[in-house]
A and B are shown apart, each in its own frame.
Chain A
C-alpha cells in the first residue's frame, strides 16, 4: 500500500506502522515508550504525527499505515505537541540519563522551566501511598515532580523512580511480553501513578527473579544495575571509554548472546542485543549479573591471591 509522508510517496507492506514507514525513508521521529521487541503502549505521545482528516494527532509507533494516508511529521501541531510533551516530562521527571532527550529539547525549543522551579523530592514511600481520586492542593511555588529517593533494596539493581516517565516497558518486559513474572505493575492513578510491587514491598519480598530484563528496556535509566549506578554516582561512568565484546553466556545450553561492556579491561555491564533472535535483548539473572567471578580473582579458592581484579 502507498501513503504520503511529508509530501513523499512511500510504499510499505500492509501492517507497517507509520513510524516504520518513516524510518524506511529516513524520517526521524523521536520515541520514548516504543521498543521493537515490546507491544507498543503509545503512552508517551512524543511520536505523534498528523494524519490528514483526523481530529487528533496519532501515535506513529502503533498506528498502522493505510492506503492513501497523508501524514505530516513536522506540522505546527505536531511540533507543538512534541514540545509540550518534552516540557511536561522534563519539568516533572529527571531526564539526566535519558539518551537523546537533550537534543530533542533543543530541537523543539522546549522550556520546561516555564512551569516553575521543580518541587523537592517527596519523602520515601509518599508516592507509593498516594490515594486515587485525592491529592493535596498544588504549591504555587513549585512545579510538581515525581522526585523521590531511589529505592535501593537489593544488591543487583536500583530503582530510581525520580527518573521514571511511566512508559510501561518494564511492566511489559516483566509481564506478558517477555518474562511472565509479573513482579511489578503500574499502581495508583493519574500523576500519582507509579511502578510498584504489591503493597510496595521491597524487591526481595516480591516475585522478582532479577533477570534484569526491565533494566534492558528502561529508556531513562530509572532502572539501573548497581554497578552502573555506583560508578555514575562516583563520576567514573564514561561510555566513550568503553568497548563491547559479544560472547556466549557460559551458564546453560540456550546459548544467549552476551554483550559485555568493558571499561579499561573491567566488565561493568552485561546486556544482550535487541536484534538477537534468541534473546531479543533478554537474559536471566546469571547472564545479566553473574559475571563478577571473571574479575574477582581474590575470591577464587586456590588462586594466587594477587589478582588485580581487572579481569585481564
Chain B
C-alpha cells in the first residue's frame, strides 16, 4: 500500500517525541532525511516490518500529545510514515480518544470531574464557580495548522469519572511539554483549580529519587497525604484506606501491603512474601495452577463475573500460538477506583500475578492496559516490571527455569469503551477501540487474532493467595458461589469514602455502616450498585447481600464493586441525566441501537427535566423503556446492553422520576 502523504515536515519537537518512542528512522522512506540515513533512498524499506508495528500507533499519538499538547497534521503524518498507517486511518484513531486533541490546545489542561460521585461532593457547584472565575470550559476550534500557543497557557474541561471518587471532587492535570507531567488531584476546590491553572507544576520526580520515609508512614499503617508545598507533590499518592480507621480491625487480604509496604521497593515486596507464589506456581506446573484456580471458584472482578479458572483452561488448551495475556486496568466505570489502589499501592503483586497467569496459560507476552488517567499507577507498574525483570522474575529465563514471560504497558487515552474485553484488543492493536462481535470469543481469537486471557486487576490480585494456600482454602472464604474477598468502592454521600475489602457475604447496609453511614446523618435517598452500567436501589433494599448470587436474586449486580450513596438532598434527575450523558459520550458509535439509542435516551430525560415532554412523563418513560429494550437486545457489546440499566432501575425500582419535582438545568 502506498501512503498518500503531503510530506510536510514535522516540527523538531514532534519528531523528537515520536523518535523517543520508535527510535530514529532508518531510511528516508520512514521519515529520515536524506544524508541522515545510511540506507538507500531508492529502495522501499519497511513494508510488512513497519506495518507490524501498528500496535505502537496509540503510544505514538500519546507521545505527540504529551510533548506538543495536540496532534497536528505534520505530527500525525510523521507517525503514519514511521508505522505505515494511512493518515485517514490514523485520524480515525486519533479522534476516538478524549485525552488526545486534534486541534491546537493549551499545553496544560485540567480535566474536572463532574460525574455522579463527584456531584455528591459539589462538583457541579465547583464547575459553576470555575466558569465564573476563569471562564468557560475549553471548546475546540477547527483543526488546522500550527498556531502560536502560549506555552504557559492553560484550559479546563469537564471530565467523566476519573477513578478518584474517594477524594471527590477530583480532577486530572495534563501538562504537555518536554517534561511531561500528569497527575490526579483530589479534594479539588475552586481556589486550588485556579492555582493549578495559573502555576506550572513542579518537575516530575522519578521514583528512585523519592525519599521513601516521606511516602509511607509505617508506624501508623496509614498512607500519606503530602502537602502542596512538598517537593513530592507531583507524586501525591492517591491511596486512602479508611477501613483502618474503623475500631475493629477489618480483614485485609488484597490490601495487605497497601500503604504499608513501599510499592517502589522490590526488596520490601519480597520480604512480605512477594514472588513466593510465582516460585510455587513454577513448582506446581501450569496444569496444577489452573486446577487450583478452578478449585478456588474465583470469579472475574471486572463486572462480568466469569469463572477465571475456566477462562485460563480454555486458553491453555488452544493449539494456536502465541497466546496473549491482558491485564485490564482500564477501570473507568463511574464510581470505581479499587484497581487504582492496587496499581498505585501494590504494583509488584500485579506483575507477579500476571507472570503466574502467563505461565499457566502458555503466554510469553502480556499487556497491562491502564487508563490514561492513572499516570501514577502506570509509572509504578512500569517500575515494578523493570525491577522484576532485573531480578529474574520476568524476561527470557524466569527464575532460571527457562520460562519466558514479559509485560508491556499500554496506556488508554480517555475511552471507557476500551475496558470492554474485545475493544481493548482493537485499542492495543492500534485501531479504534470498537468492540468486536462475539463469537469468536477472546479465548479463541483475541489480541492479534490469537487466544487471549483478559483479566481484571483485582481478579489477578487474588492469584498469589490461591497458588500459595490452594484453591480449596480460597473457596472456603466467602459464600458457596462467591468465594474470596471483594473490594468495594464506597463513595458519594458517605462519611468515609474509600476502598473496603470484605469477605463475600456482607450486605449493602454492612458496607454503608463500615463507611460511617450517610454524611451528616442525612437520610439515604438511593444507592448506585455496580456503576453507570449497574442499578439503583432504594433505602429499603439495603439488605441485599453483596454476593454474585445475592445480587442476581435481587435483580441487581455487583458490577465492579461500586456503591455510591446519594442523600436526600441530591437532585437525582441530574444524576440520571449525567449517566445518560456519559453513555452518549462513551458509545463508540459502531452499532445503531447504542449510537442513536444513547442520544434518544438523553433527550427524553432532558425533556422530562425541562418540562417539555412528548406525551407527558409517562409517555417519555414508555419511550425510554422501548429504546432501552432495543439497546439491551441488539447492541454489539455490554456498553449498549447496559446503557439503560441504571436509569431503568431508577425509574421502575426506586421511582425516582415519579412525583412532580422539576430539575434545574
Contact = CB atoms under 8 A, between A and B. Distances in A.
Interface of A: 42-46, 48, 56-57, 59, 62-63, 77, 80-81, 84-85, 88-89, 91-92, 114-116, 125, 128-129, 131-135, 137-138, 140-141, 143-144, 165-166, 175, 180-193, 196-200, 205-207
A207 B593 contact: no
Q: Can you list the 5 inter-chain pairs with the closest CB atoms, starting with the nearest?
A: A133-B98, A207-B4, A193-B589, A182-B86, A185-B92
22 contacts: A42-B437, A45-B636, A48-B634, A56-B632, A56-B634, A84-B634, A85-B630, A132-B96, A132-B585, A133-B415, A138-B602, A166-B589, A180-B1, A183-B86, A188-B96, A188-B589, A189-B96, A190-B587, A191-B589, A198-B76, A205-B6, A207-B4
B590 A43 contact: yes
B182 interface: no
A196 B143 CA distance: 13
Interface of B: 1, 3-4, 6, 73, 76, 86-92, 95-98, 102-103, 140-144, 157-158, 160, 414-415, 432, 437, 439, 581, 584-593, 595-600, 602-603, 606-607, 610, 612, 614, 623, 626-627, 629-630, 632-636, 641, 665
Given A138-B606, A190-B586, A190-B587, A196 B593 contact: no
A88 B597 contact: yes
B437 A59 contact: yes
Nearest to A146: B596
Contacts of B3: 207
B593 A129 contact: no
Nearest to A32: B592
B596 A89 contact: yes
Contacts of A131: 98, 140
The residue among B86, B432, B586, B610 with the most chain A CB atoms within 10 A of its own CB is B86
Contact of B102 (A45, A133, A165, A199): A199
A98 to B, nearest CB: 13
B92 A186 contact: yes
A133 to B, nearest CB: 3
Contacts of B98: 131-134
Nearest to A84: B630
Contacts of A134: 98, 157-158, 585
B185 to A, nearest CB: 19
B417 to A, nearest CB: 8
A199 B73 contact: yes
Given A46-B592, A131-B98, A198-B90, 13 more contacts: A45-B592, A56-B633, A77-B633, A80-B629, A84-B593, A88-B600, A129-B143, A134-B585, A138-B599, A166-B590, A175-B89, A185-B88, A190-B584
Contacts of A144: 599, 603
B76 to A, nearest CB: 7
A137 B606 contact: yes
Nearest to A167: B592
A140 B603 contact: yes
B87 A207 contact: yes
B591 A48 contact: no
Contacts of A165: 592
A133 B164 CA distance: 19
B585 A186 contact: no
A42 B603 CA distance: 26
B593 A88 contact: yes
Nearest to B622: A114
A190 B585 contact: yes
Contact of A207 (B86, B590, B598, B626): B86
B633 A132 contact: no
A135 B585 contact: yes
Contacts of B160: 133
The residue among B96, B581, B589, B626 with the most chain A CB atoms within 10 A of its own CB is B589
Contact of B586 (A133, A166, A180): A133
B91 A196 contact: yes
A227 to B, nearest CB: 26
A198 B88 CA distance: 4
Given A92-B599, A185-B89, A81 B586 contact: no
B636 A42 contact: yes
Given A191-B584, A191-B598, A206-B4, A85 B592 contact: yes
Contacts of B437: 42, 59, 62
A291 to B, nearest CB: 26
The residue among B96, B140, B141 with the most chain A CB atoms within 10 A of its own CB is B96
B121 to A, nearest CB: 22
A189 B588 contact: yes
Nearest to A205: B6
Contacts of B86: 175, 182-183, 185, 207
B89 A182 contact: yes
A129 B587 contact: no
B346 to A, nearest CB: 30
A132 B596 contact: no
Contacts of B414: 132-133
Nearest to A40: B437
B590 A191 contact: no
A57 B586 contact: no
A89 B91 CA distance: 25
A198 B91 contact: yes
Contacts of B634: 45, 48, 56-57, 81, 84-85
A233 B144 CA distance: 33
B143 A81 contact: no
Contact of B88 (A89, A189, A193, A197): A197
Contact of B606 (A84, A140, A191): A140
A309 B144 CA distance: 44
